[in-house]
Amino acid sequence: MDKNRMKSIIESILFAWGEPIKIGEISKILNIKPSMTKNILSEMAEEYEAENRGIVLKKANEMYQLKTKDENFTYINQLFKPNTRNSLSHSALEALSIIAYKQPVTKIEIDQIRGVKSDYILRSLVDKKLIAIKGKLDKPGKPSIYGTTDHFLSHFGLESIENLPELSFEENIENVENIMNESD
């Protein structure tokens, strides 16, 4: 099978599947080595970019997905009514950022940092597949530990958790000062 045919099949797979898919899955379907699949995916990503196409090939944790270009969002958004059910509240974003930066982390740690109970928020984030229970601590009560998911990476356009923006010391001090001022 020639390379152009393989690119066509891969593009169809990515389009039809919609969600991120592992290189190994694509390789099995095409019956080729994962290294060859990775090379083809890299070529495809470069071609999409060079041709200034409306889609891009995104990578997250060795998984690939076709997505629309970020700069086209305002146009695409005009087709859809805002879905408030899927939007994240300030509280959900707060808990999600704690989990993203401190993972693995327990509910108790999240509650302590936020200063409020997080049961509902955590259930909501698990339901949205942005976080998952990654295990249990070997402590009394066997508390669950939470971490982010591949869907989290895909949702926020990150290749890996290491791509989260660094929090500077000044931002941390400012956040603490804001919290202290709010409690006055």
Q: What is the pLDDT of residue 84?
A: 43
Q: Are residues 94 and 170 in the same domain?
A: yes
16-26 confidence digits (pLDDT tens): 888 899 999 99
CATH number at residue 30: 1.10.10.10
Q: What is the mean predicted confidence (pLDDT) over 42-65?
A: 91
Residue 79 binned pLDDT confidence (cut-offs 50, 70, 90): confident
84-107 confidence digits (pLDDT tens): 445 788 889 999 999 999 999 999
Rounded to whole angstroms, the Cα distance separating 152 from 1 reads: 35
User: 3 burial class (0-12, 13-18, 19+ CB within 10 angstroms)?
Assistant: exposed
DSSP three-state, residue 167 = coil
Rounded to whole angstroms, the Cα distance separating 74 from 52 reads: 17
**In 3D, which of 93, 82, 80, 167 has the Cα closest to residue 130?**
93
Tell me what percent of the residues of the chain surpass a pLDDT of 70. 87
Q: Which domain holds residue 40?
A: 3-75
Enter the tokens of residue 112.
Answer: 């302590």
Rounded to whole angstroms, the Cα distance separating 170 from 69 reads: 33
Domain boundary among 48, 75, 102: 75
Q: Are residues 40 and 114 in the same domain?
A: no
CA distances from 56 to 26, 32, 79, 89, 130 (A): 18, 23, 20, 28, 22
Q: What is the pLDDT of residue 82?
A: 53
CA distances from 145 to 49, 101, 136, 173 (A): 39, 13, 6, 27
Q: Are residues 56 and 97 in the same domain?
A: no
Q: What is the pLDDT of residue 183?
A: 45
Q: What is the pLDDT of residue 37?
A: 95
Q: Are residues 102 and 172 in the same domain?
A: yes
Q: What is the mean predicted confidence (pLDDT) over 104-119?
A: 91
Contact 23, 38 (CB under 8 A): yes
Q: Are residues 70 and 97 in the same domain?
A: no
Q: What is the pLDDT of residue 132?
A: 95
In sequence order, what are the residues at sequence separation of 6 or more whose Cβ sits closer than 8 angstroms to the Cβ of residue 76?
68
pLDDT(184) > 50: no
21-40 confidence digits (pLDDT tens): 999 999 999 999 999 999 99
What total of structural domains would you count in the chain? 2
Residue 84 lies in a domain: no
Residue 125 binned pLDDT confidence (cut-offs 50, 70, 90): very high
Q: What is the mean predicted confidence (pLDDT) over 140-145?
A: 88
Q: What is the pLDDT of residue 157?
A: 84
Q: Are residues 108 and 166 in the same domain?
A: yes
Q: Are residues 71 and 104 in the same domain?
A: no
Q: Are residues 175 and 111 in the same domain?
A: yes
Residue 85 lies in a domain: no
Q: Are residues 14 and 48 in the same domain?
A: yes
Domain boundary among 49, 75, 101: 75
Q: What is the pLDDT of residue 178?
A: 54
Residue 104 lies in a domain: yes
163-181 confidence digits (pLDDT tens): 888 876 555 545 545 554 5
